[in-house]
Structure 1
Amino acid sequence: MIEEQRNVPIRRFKEFQNADPWEQRKLGEEVLITMGQSPNSKNYTDNPRDHILVQGNADMKEGRVVPRVWTTQVTKQVEKGDLILSVRAPVGDVGKTDYSAVIGRGVASIKGNDFIYQQLIKMKSTGYWSRYSTGSTFESINSSEIKQADICVPSELEQQKIGDLFTHLDHLITLHQRKLDKLKNLKSAYLSEMFPAEGEREPKRRFPGFTGPWEQRKASEISENTFGGGTPKTSTKDFWNGNIPWIQSKDVVEGSVLNVHPQKYISKSAVKKSATKLIPANSIAIVTRVGVGKLAIVPFEYTTSQDFLSLSNLKVNRLFAVYILYKKLQRDSNAVQGTSIKGITKKEFLEKKLMVPNNLEEQEKIGKLFSNLDHLITLHQRKLDKLKNLKQAYLNEMFV
């Protein structure tokens, strides 16, 4: 009786609420499993006319096979609609293929329905496969371990209903992901075109009615005041029971200049008795050490750790300022890609050269354009996260 109760999911479609418990099976009893075999590397190509080669999770993205490498040698093959399971680190990643393909030894193919596909996703999320690789140097699973994996299955009709529900959820997630990617790509394109390229004095794209070259200024020239930060003594409890936000690098969201989420608050006495400073609202906080390059407009009074430099009482439109600084830091980071940037000094930052339009209205329009894009990106990201969380909740409740 206890075994039967354990084999009933928490959430079930209404028409199956009084149906039999799910039956425990081995994965190999339900599906056909084929282990991959790698072709000789001399037969690898970049010619899409050859056979698609799937070698591991690098060839899968968001649950789908994405062609990356091709081969002229056929070893083990999969057909369109087959499932692909990663059998080497990271073990358990799973995807579907929309193509016939050759599979290498880093994956296995599984001929399973949508229910089995979601079951494998659930197994990955719960760490099912980690039991086989704990303590080993190289994480992997073999044919026997896959075939002997324990699963619980309902009737074919209930499997179909569950598979259809998750297919619909996956479709919605894909649509929202595409919308989000499109917005991010649009923002990236505008960042490239609406600020002058290196060595140029005018941007490639401009709002109608604005002409003439932009003016070069140092970062030090776009604000009246600058502030550093510090950490109040952590052993003094009275310093940490106030209501003044104390911002750390992890409170600033990567890639977003409009999101700051303080997790710690300090008292007025902490400000008086430490190196941290009380900084006016609507200043720009820039991370200069751990997480260098992150920055954000802070719409409230705040303090920071020593990892920040803040610009206050801005002489240009604040939205324009934060995006031109974001663009500058992004460009500088890309220029030294591959090297480790541990930090930037206050002097180095304030010496950075920026191109600024003299017309305040043009500054405002540019700043507003990017803030609107960021609000849309945040909105779509929240919708996407909500759908992903809903799917995970259903995976936890609708499978045994």
Structure 2
Amino acid sequence: MKDNQAKYPQLRFKGFTDPWEQRKLKDVTDYFNGKAHEDNVLDDGLYELITLKSVSSDGVLQSSGKHVNDATDFLQEDTLIMTLSEQNIGAVGMTTIIPTSNYYVLNQRVAELRPNSTVVAGFLTKQINKNQNYFEIRSAGTKVQNISKGNVENFTFEIPNVDEQEKIGAFFKQLDDIITLHQRKLAKLKELKQGYLQKLFPQNGSKFPQLRFSGFADAWEQRKLGGIMDVTSVKRIHQSDWTNKGVRFFRARDIVALSKREKIQDPLFISEQKYNEYSKSSGKVHVDDLLVTGVGSIGIPYLVKSTNPLYFKDGNIIWFKNNGYLDGSFLYYSFIGNSIQNYIKKTSGSGTVGTFTIMSGKKTPILIPKSYKEQQKIGAFFKQLDDTITLHQRKLEKLQELKKGYLQKMFC
């Protein structure tokens, strides 16, 4: 009885009041499997091949990087494509829309859903994608999750009249366009940062950067970090001393999360009593000190910016006691530049057993301008650039949350 009850979304455009009706995907689309093009795949060609990689995890069409020159199975404009397999790339059952015809062809791991006159593509793709649980539950396989044609066609959902679908589809297209614009801006800012890291720090054995602030012309000096500051760790603290409040306790994975501007999962602490006791022998971390991961994702730096006390896991994190010798931001951005990162990769090994040790930290080479003011200018420049990146990242996240909220309120 419940399935036959009238359905009304929480939020609607003005003028629409009729209940939504229940349909199956096979009632409103024609299903077509892709073909095996493996023997004809090229890196460049006339027609782009749609693969699992062509559909992002949030339902955006992106390049697979694969092409073919000969094809007859062209996709129609405004047709939907659906991923039939997860294969550690994205969600199974995720859809997106083909924007133009006679340009794309489909491989066998992706299906075409060709809408009929009762459904609008822009509406349908959002309705499918917001119901990913349906496809995840019904997918089968041990290593690779797959969804069958029958389960795809029997997907049941609610649908309004075509006019309301058009309004909803157009609204989300506009929102998606804004999100895409912010994603591109963010990507360009990140590319810009990488370019400046190449130009504002000396490269390939040179002691002169390609690009400099006005008034600075001297050669930079190469030193080893162990020769200008203490490189050490802290006294070991046992897991039994971890708490859920008190002084922050960092693990290597916490620093990795911070570097990605992600929230730390399951944050740890130690008591203030333990902190004071252990800091007597190890010393206390100060502003402009650098903490660097020594295990897992090695060589990820964290610049201490707050006077709030903190402690960290010995052996997993290397502590560079700056003591004001270098501008903190300059030290941090030196660490994420090619020169130091290449040194870490070369000396620390590879794979899960790779480690960055205190001894390697002491031997880490760094190029330093003679003028402390040049350090400050470089550090301040990159800090401002990172602040801009963070601002755009937050705007993007807010837009994505806004979209999520509208999907909940505008669909049954």
Same-fold status (TM-score > 0.5): yes
* CA offsets 1:120-146 (integer angstroms, 9 cap, x no match): 22123xx22122224545321232222
- The residue aligned with 2:126 is 118
Does the residue aligned with 1:201 lie in a helix, a strand or coil?
coil
2:234 aligned partner: 229
Deviation at 1:263, TM superposition (A): 2.8
Offset at 1:96?
Answer: 2.4
Deviation at 1:320, TM superposition (A): 0.5
The answer on whether the counterparts of 1:277 and 1:303 sit within 8 Å (CA) in structure 2 is: no
Of residues 271, 278, 295, the one that matches 2:275 is 271
Percent sequence identity is 29
Q: Are residues 1:77 and 2:74 paired? A: yes
How far residue 395 of structure 1 moved from its aligned partner, in angstroms, is 1.6
- 2:7 aligned partner: 7
Equivalent residue for 1:383, pick from 390, 395, 401 = 395
Post-superposition offset of 1:232: 3.2
Q: When the two structures are superposed, what TM-score results if normalisation uses the length of structure 1? A: 0.88
Q: CA deviation at 1:342?
A: 2.7
Equivalent-residue separation in structure 2 for 1:242 and 1:66 (angstroms): 46
The structure 1 residue matched to 2:166, chosen from 160, 165, 168, is 160
- 1:192 equivalent in alignment to 2:198: yes
Distance 1:290 1:150 in 2: 44
Amino acid across the alignment from 1:51:
Y
Q: Is the 8 A contact 2:218 2:370 kept in 1?
A: no
Match of 1:321 in 2: 331
In 1, the alpha carbon distance for the partners of 2:236 and 2:155 equals 51
**2: distance between equivalents of 1:362 and 1:257?**
27
The equivalences for 1:1-400 within 5 A come to 2-3=2-3, 7-16=7-16, 19-39=17-37, 41-48=38-45, 50-54=46-50, 56-61=51-56, 63-66=60-63, 68-89=65-86, 90-99=91-100, 100-112=103-115, 113-124=121-132, 127-134=133-140, 136-223=142-229, 225-229=230-234, 232-236=237-241, 240=243, 243-253=246-256, 256=259, 263-272=267-276, 274=278, 278-299=284-305, 300=307, 301-306=309-314, 307-312=316-321, 313-327=323-337, 328-332=339-343, 339-340=350-351, 342-400=354-412
The change in CA–CA distance for 1:337 and 1:43 in structure 2 (over 3 A counts) is farther
Work out the CA distance in 2 between the residues paired with 1:288 and 1:338: 11
Paired with 2:19 and 2:247, the residues of 1 have a C-alpha distance of 55
Name the stretch that deviates more: 280-289 or 69-78: 69-78
RMSD over aligned CA atoms reads 2.8
Deviations 1:189-212 (A, max 9, x none): 001111111311111111122112
Tell me the distance in 2 between the aligned counterparts of 1:260 and 1:138.
Answer: 30
Contact 1:226 1:311 survives alignment (8 Å): yes
C-alpha change, 1:134 and 1:143, in structure 2 (3 Å) is: closer
Q: CA deviation at 1:176?
A: 0.6
Distance 1:373 1:158, change over 3 A: same
**Greater shift in the superposed pair: 22-31 or 254-263:** 254-263
Residues 231, 319 of structure 2: 8 Å contact kept: yes
In the TM superposition, residue 367 of structure 1 has moved relative to its aligned partner by 0.4
1:320 maps to a residue whose letter is F
Q: 1:257 and 1:191, CA in 2 relative to 1: closer, same or farther beyond 3 A?
A: farther
Determine the C-alpha separation between the residues in 1 that align with 2:225 and 2:263: 22
Give the Cα–Cα distance (whole angstroms) in 2 for the partners of residues 337 and 105 of structure 1.
42
Judging changes above 3 Å, is the alpha-carbon distance between structure 1 residues 333 and 122 closer, same or farther for their aligned structure 2 residues? farther
- Deviation per CA, 1:37-72, whole angstroms, max 9, x where unpaired? 123x33223333x22221x22134561142522223
Structure 2 CA distance for aligned equivalents of residues 260 and 156 of structure 1: 42
C-alpha contact (below 8 Å) 2:82/2:112 kept by paired residues: yes
Distance 1:260 1:343 in 2: 25
Check conservation: 2:340, 2:366, Cα contact below 8 A. Answer: no
Deviation at 1:250, TM superposition (A): 2.9
The count of aligned residue pairs is 390
Change (3 A) 1:377 1:394: same
In the aligned structure 1, how far is the partner of 2:261 from the partner of 2:18? 52
C-alpha deviation, 1:105, in angstroms: 0.5
Structure 1 equivalent of residue 118 of structure 2: none
Residue 242 (structure 1) shift: 5.7
Equivalent AA in structure 2 for residue 24 of structure 1: Q
SS at match of 2:131: helix
Q: Which has the larger displacement, 204-213 or 331-340?
A: 331-340
Contact 1:285 1:298 in 2 (8 A): yes
Secondary structure of residue in 2 paired with 1:15: coil
CA distance in 2, matches of 1:259, 1:45: 37
Q: Distance in 2 between matches of 1:326 and 1:32?
A: 51
Please give the TM-score of this superposition, normalised by the length of structure 2: 0.86
CA distance in 2: counterparts of 1:258 and 1:366, whole angstroms? 22
